[in-house]
Amino acid sequence: MPSISFVFDDLCRLVGKKLSEAELVSLLDKAKAELDSKLSAEITVKYNDTNQPYLWSVEGLARHMRASLGKEKGAARIALEKSSLQLSVDRSVESVRPFIACFVAKGPALSEYVLGQLIQMQEKLADNFGRKREKVAIGLFPAGKVSWPLAYRAVEPKSVAFVPLGMVKQLTLRETLERHPKGKEFGHLLADAKKYPVVFDAKGHVVTFPPVVNSEESGKLSAGDSEIACEVTGTDESAVNLVSSIFAFALADRGFKIHPVKIRYAKRIVQTPKVEPYDFRFDTAQVGALLGLELSEGQLRDLLGRAQYDYQGKGRVKCPAYRGDLMHAVDVVEDVAIMYGYESISPLPLTSFTVGGLRAGEGVISAVRDLWRGFGYQEVFSPVLSNKQLLYDKMQADDMGTVEVENVMSSTYSCIRSWIVPILMDVLSKNRHVEYPQRLMEEGLVARREKDNVWDARQVAAVSAHAQASFTEMRQHVEGVMRSLGLECSFKEMDEGCTKSSFIPGRAAFVFVKDACIGFVGEIHPAVLEKFGLQVPVVACELGLDSLLQ
């Protein structure tokens, strides 16, 4: 979730209103944002929608608030200056980083604060929207220090040298990736590239080496600068253009005049930034259908205006150029709902009759849980993530087909449990100081794998630990549970299988219902008890429930 920090008074100045805390919170709600700090001179705001980068600057947020308050309704526009600035794009960048947008903003001298805000915006956009500069990277530099027109082309990594930002010596592009901190951080984005993209000025000086770092000599923006060039590169042209628009509108809100740049691609010429609102189809009937609200044309026009749309009538709106998040008419409908106010929408009850019901097999599952508890077993509920050391090593069992996690974070949670008895053994070992007898049961899911098949299984396991715990006791309980389900079961000595060594030989059995083996019961082997630090006999059982649910 992106968050930005700024001076609260600056926001109020940009909004044109001294906001109370309640007003601030309500306006932030409408921007799907929340205050992430106390209300003080400087505040931090966190955004829940990762898809609205035009709000990730104090300027963009203030613009949204002005519209919400009705101070500045409709799609924002910028009157672009006449400009002859050009940037040519060489075909060599097509395989590396094919798209670029650029413009120059001229206005008041940059204060330290505004410069800081620009840099924050550059970072948030490149990190969150630009996917850590892979999709979009942004460079800001003083427009007056370079000779126009600029040229964007890809060159051999060792063929060009320049002084990267913050350094004193010239480095080749390759060396920059190896030695400069930004080179180390972002060099992987060029790992597969044979040639590296560079923006040169008319004299052939390196201005910037996207997406890595600007030049120290001509690419360093400072407080006091009043002519700012903004260059955006990336792999997705619409994202590149969107980010340049977002910057242009933010700077325009700060009183800068925007001078566009003609981008000369090999076969076409485009002008950036894109600032003209674009058309979006929108069916007014959808407001009623989706929201259940009946709005007059006037109300609709007002709400759309507050959401920064120009309502054209007949299901057409114009959207500001920096809105790249609109995919479907429902997106516009939501904006209408937000400006209407969720709190003002009166609720409607559901009216159709539907029959409720628990999942299939619930009757058997809840009966099994009841029956075990009736025999005096305390029910346990555990995480299903586990580890093979517990499931197999400590139990002296063989791997019975385990669903393992590839990107393990903690060795304790490296797979889904394949059986439940080890979990209950672990509970016994953690409760050695608690009064015996200890009888525990857990019903729940396990996951199993066989070659390319993976499935969940519903199982119940029980353990009984006390001085007289025996096979007979547990078999009595298993038979008691099964008999109450109307099932007769038979027992066959366990002399094979994954869990053979978990039990004392001759004191463990597979449980059969008709011809199907549904589980096992047995006295835990003392060697296993020793591994769990237990000095009391334990008898255990585990039964699969899936075949009983039909």
Partner 1 sequence: MAIDAKWKKLAQSLTKYERDVLPLLSEGKFVPIAELAKVTGLSELQVQRAVQWLENKSLAVHKELPFEVVSLEANGKRYQKESLPERRMLEVLDEKGIPLAKLAQKAGISSEEVNAALGLLRGRGAVALVKEKELRVKITERGVELRKAKFAEEVFFGKQDFPCKVQDVRPEYRKVVEDLRRRKNILRVERAVERSVALAPGAGDILQFVDADTIDAVSPQLLSSGGWKGKEFRRYDVSSGVPKVFGGKVQPYRAFLDSVRQKFVGLGFEEMTGPLVEQDFWNMDALYMPQFHSARDIHDAYYVREPKEAPLDPRLVRRVKDVHESGKGANSRGWGYVFDVKRTHRLLLRTQGTACSSRKLASPDLRIPGKYFGISRVFRHDVIDATHLPDFNQVEGIVVEEGLTFRHLIGLLRMFAKEFAGAEEVRLVPGYFPFTEPSVELYAKHPQLGWIELGGAGMFRPEVVMPLLGRAVPVCAWGLGIDRLGMFKLGFKDIRNLFSHDLQFLRDAKVV
Cα angle vertex 124, ends 120, 128, to 5°?
175
We find the least distance from the C-beta atom of residue 437 to partner 1, in angstroms, to be 9
Whether the ω angle into residue 383 lies within 30 degrees of 0, i.e. cis, is no
In terms of CB distance, is 161 or 270 closer to partner 1?
270
We find the least distance from the C-beta atom of residue 96 to partner 1, in angstroms, to be 18
- Asked whether the beta carbons of 506 and 433 are under 8 A apart, the reply is no
Structure token digits, residue 290: 């989706």
In terms of CB distance, is 406 or 496 closer to partner 1?
406
CA distance linking residue 119 with residue 296, whole number of Å: 44
We find the least distance from the C-beta atom of residue 350 to partner 1, in angstroms, to be 6
We find the least distance from the C-beta atom of residue 364 to partner 1, in angstroms, to be 14
CA distance linking residue 16 with residue 35, whole number of Å: 20
We find the least distance from the C-beta atom of residue 127 to partner 1, in angstroms, to be 10
Q: Which residues contact 180 (CB under 8 A, 6 or more apart)?
A: 164, 166, 167, 171, 212, 213
CA distance linking residue 226 with residue 28, whole number of Å: 31
> Alpha-carbon torsion 164, 241, 76, 83, what sign?
positive
We find the least distance from the C-beta atom of residue 337 to partner 1, in angstroms, to be 5
Closest among 232, 203, 233 to 218, alpha carbons compared? 203
Question: What's the distance, CA 70 to chain centroid?
Answer: 33
We find the least distance from the C-beta atom of residue 285 to partner 1, in angstroms, to be 12
Closest among 371, 285, 402, 396 to 333, alpha carbons compared? 285
CA distance linking residue 375 with residue 473, whole number of Å: 11
We find the least distance from the C-beta atom of residue 115 to partner 1, in angstroms, to be 28
- Asked whether the beta carbons of 54 and 2 are under 8 A apart, the reply is no
In terms of CB distance, is 18 or 328 closer to partner 1?
328
Structure token digits, residue 13: 């100045």
In terms of CB distance, is 266 or 348 closer to partner 1?
348
Number of neighbours of residue 169 by Cβ within 10 angstroms: 10
We find the least distance from the C-beta atom of residue 292 to partner 1, in angstroms, to be 3
In terms of CB distance, is 166 or 292 closer to partner 1?
292
SS3 track for 220-264: CCCCCCCEEEEEEEECCHHHHHHHHHHHHHHHHHCCCEEEEEEEE
* Phi and psi, residue 240, nearest 5°: -60, -50
Question: Which 3 state secondary structure label does DSSP give 503?
Answer: strand
In terms of CB distance, is 414 or 470 closer to partner 1?
414
In terms of CB distance, is 40 or 453 closer to partner 1?
453
Closest among 253, 230, 322 to 59, alpha carbons compared? 253
In terms of CB distance, is 233 or 438 closer to partner 1?
438
Question: Which 3 state secondary structure label does DSSP give 366?
Answer: helix
We find the least distance from the C-beta atom of residue 522 to partner 1, in angstroms, to be 21
We find the least distance from the C-beta atom of residue 402 to partner 1, in angstroms, to be 9
CA distance linking residue 65 with residue 249, whole number of Å: 15
We find the least distance from the C-beta atom of residue 204 to partner 1, in angstroms, to be 36
In terms of CB distance, is 450 or 515 closer to partner 1?
450
In terms of CB distance, is 5 or 382 closer to partner 1?
382
Beta bridge partners of 311: 317
* Phi and psi, residue 410, nearest 5°: -135, 135
We find the least distance from the C-beta atom of residue 456 to partner 1, in angstroms, to be 5
We find the least distance from the C-beta atom of residue 314 to partner 1, in angstroms, to be 17
Q: Which stretches does DSSP call E strand in 9-96?
A: 33-35, 42-47, 86-89
Question: Which 3 state secondary structure label does DSSP give 5?
Answer: strand
Closest among 464, 478, 548 to 510, alpha carbons compared? 478
DSSP conformational letter for 377: P
In terms of CB distance, is 228 or 337 closer to partner 1?
337
In terms of CB distance, is 70 or 288 closer to partner 1?
288
Residue with tokens 């566009």: 260
In terms of CB distance, is 362 or 488 closer to partner 1?
362
Structure token digits, residue 420: 């439940």
In terms of CB distance, is 381 or 515 closer to partner 1?
381
